[in-house]
C-alpha cells in the first residue's frame, strides 16, 4: 500500500489521526451547546442548531479552528470548557506502537494540526504526544489551514520536506485532496477517527483503521 523505502518524512494530523476524535466531537456537538444554552438561556436544541449553522459557515477557515474566535462568538472561555471534559482526550489505541516504530525507523516525524495552539498545549499536557515527534506545527502560526495551498507552501518553505519522499496522514478527505493538489506523493487516510462512531467510507485514498497493520512494513531508513 505504501512504499516505505521512498518515505523519509512523515507528516501527521493530530485529531482523529493520532488522538481519538471522540473528545472533539463530544465537545463541539454536546458540551459547548450545553454551556451555551445555560449562559444565553436558550434550549440545548436551539443552541446546537445555532452553533452548527455557525460551524458550517466558517468550516475550513482559520476561524473554525480558533479558540479565540469561538470565545468571542459565544462569550465563553473555550479553553476552560475543554478542561471540563479533558478526561476524554486520549491517544488512539493504535497510535503509540505506530509512532514509536516510526521514530525508531529514523524518519522525520512531524505533527501538522489545524488546532489552535492552546488546544495543542492542552492535548500535549494530557497525552505527552510531543515525545513522539521531532517537530510540531499548529497551522495558526502560518495564518492559513491545511485546506489552503498556501499552507503547504509556507510549511515546505519552513520545514524543507521533499514531496516525493513525504507521507501525509489525515482523517479528512478534503484536507487530503488539498495535499494531493499540492503534489504529495504518499497519502494515507484514517477511516476510523472517532472510536465511538462507525468507520468513514474512504474512496480516493488508501486507508487504515489500525496502524498496527503497518508495523512490519516500516523498515529503518538505510
| 218 pLDDT more than 80 | yes
How many Å apart are CA 217 and CA 219, to the nearest integer?
Answer: 6
CB 168 within 8 A of CB 162: no
| 22 pLDDT more than 80 | yes
What's the whole-model pTM score? 0.96
Name the residue with cell 478534503: 174
The CA angle 160-142-168, to the nearest 5 degrees, is 50
Q: How many residues does the chain have?
A: 222
Which residues touch 126 (CB under 8 Å, ≥6 apart)?
86, 89, 90
pLDDT tens, residue by residue, 72-130: 999 999 999 999 999 999 999 999 999 999 999 999 999 999 999 999 999 999 999 99
Q: What domains does the chain contain, in order, with CATH numbers?
A: 4-20+90-217 (3.40.50.1000), 23-87 (no CATH)
pLDDT tens, residue by residue, 129-168: 999 999 999 999 999 999 999 999 999 999 999 999 999 9
Closest Cα to residue 55, out of 65, 46, 45? 65
Which residues touch 30 (CB under 8 Å, ≥6 apart)?
none
Looking at residue 175, what is its pLDDT? 98
Other Cβ atoms closer than 10 A to 179? 25
Looking at residue 179, what is its pLDDT? 98
CA–CA distance from 131 to each of 99, 109, 135, 163 (Å)? Answer: 10, 11, 10, 25
Q: pLDDT-based confidence at 222, cuts 50/70/90?
A: confident
Amino acid at each position: 500500500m505504501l512504499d516505505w523505502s521512498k518515505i523519509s518524512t512523515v507528516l501527521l494530523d493530530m485529531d482523529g489521526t493520532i488522538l481519538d476524535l471522540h473528545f472533539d466531537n463530544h465537545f463541539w456537538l454536546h458540551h459547548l451547546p450545553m454551556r451555551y444554552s445555560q449562559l444565553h438561556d436558550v434550549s440545548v436544541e436551539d443552541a446546537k442548531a445555532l452553533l452548527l449553522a455557525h460551524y458550517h459557515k466558517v468550516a475550513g477557515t482559520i476561524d473554525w479552528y480558533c479558540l479565540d474566535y469561538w470565545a468571542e462568538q459565544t462569550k465563553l472561555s473555550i479553553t476552560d470548557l475543554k478542561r471540563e471534559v479533558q478526561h476524554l482526550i486520549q491517544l488512539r489505541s493504535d497510535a503509540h506502537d505506530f509512532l514509536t516504530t516510526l521514530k525508531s525507523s529514523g524518519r522525520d516525524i512531524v505533527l501538522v494540526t489545524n488546532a489552535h495552539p492552546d488546544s495543542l498545549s492542552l492535548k500535549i499536557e494530557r497525552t505527552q504526544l510531543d515525545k513522539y515527534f521531532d517537530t510540531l506545527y499548529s497551522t495558526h502560526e502560518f495564518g492559513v489551514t491545511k485546506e489552503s495551498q498556501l499552507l503547504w507552501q509556507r510549511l515546505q518553505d519552513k520545514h524543507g520536506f521533499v514531496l516525493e519522499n513525504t507521507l501525509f496522514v489525515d482523517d479528512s478527505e478534503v484536507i487530503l485532496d488539498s495535499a494531493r493538489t499540492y503534489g504529495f506523493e504518499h497519502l494515507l487516510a484514517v477511516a476510523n477517527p472517532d472510536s465511538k462512531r462507525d468507520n468513514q467510507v474512504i474512496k480516493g485514498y488508501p486507508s487504515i483503521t489500525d496502524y498496527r497493520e503497518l508495523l512490519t512494513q516500516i523498515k529503518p531508513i538505510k
